[in-house]
Amino acid sequence: EKIKEQIIAGDFYEMNYCLEFFAEDIIIDAVKTFISLNDKAQAPFSSFFKLGDKYLLCASPERFLKKEGAKLISQPIKGTIRKGESEEENTLLQQQLKNDIKEQAENVMIVDLVRNDLAHCSVPGSVQVEELFGIYGFNTVNQMISTVASTARSDVHFTDIIKCTFPMGSMTGAPKVMVMQTIEQYEDFKRGLYSGSVGYITPEGDFDFNVVIRGILYNEADKYLSVPVGGAITYDSGAEKEYEEVLLKAKA
């Protein structure tokens, strides 16, 4: 309700608000747990990352940014609905998601933000929305994904492309800086690597990065396991429905 009050006041128009589910005094086999999660989710941007005694087991369905030659591609996700029990039910649910005005509004706000981010490092006039409101089925959920592409300027180093687009709009909101400051006030945990990015960079300066969502953050030394999950809050958001969506995303 407080977030919605700020939206009505005009401070911002969409904020990604996240919660943390956690367990203490936990011992897991990180590799086996990742394999199990990966089998359940079968997500295209899954990643296993280990840094000392800290692990990320990530089943991400979302691409943050890809660079291939001069082409840049970003694919923000905004819009989630459960997977149907049958093919017929799933087709109906996908249609429901595709035609959901609230989900479309969430999605297009972030598409606009991504277009603006890419414009800073792209050839003028080259930013295009290649697909708006695409509906994609994953093993546990259906998602609304849009694809924004552009041509990188030849005078911009690949590290600057990452700098001017990070953090991704789908995990912040719009306008980006204002919502990032507000997120700090409302969330009662530190995101850390969650909602960041894992990927690779080639020797030629091409890259592909995911959005760190649908993952487990595990600190082996502290025996602390964290599963952060979130969603976009807009003027039309209802608290119960948003919480149900959070549980759906955390299910795997």
Asked if residue 193 lies in contact with residue 212, where contact means CB atoms within 8 angstroms, the answer is yes
User: Number of H helices and number of E strands within the chain?
Assistant: 7, 13
Closest of 221, 229, 165 to residue 195, by C-alpha: 229
Q: Catalytic site residues?
A: 62, 78
Residue with tokens 């990927």: 199
Within 10 angstroms of residue 176's Cβ, the number of other Cβ atoms is 17
DSSP assignment of 24-69 equals SS----HHHHHHHHHHHH--TEEEEEEETTEEEEEEE--EEEEEET
- Rounded CA-CA distance 51/191 in Å is 17
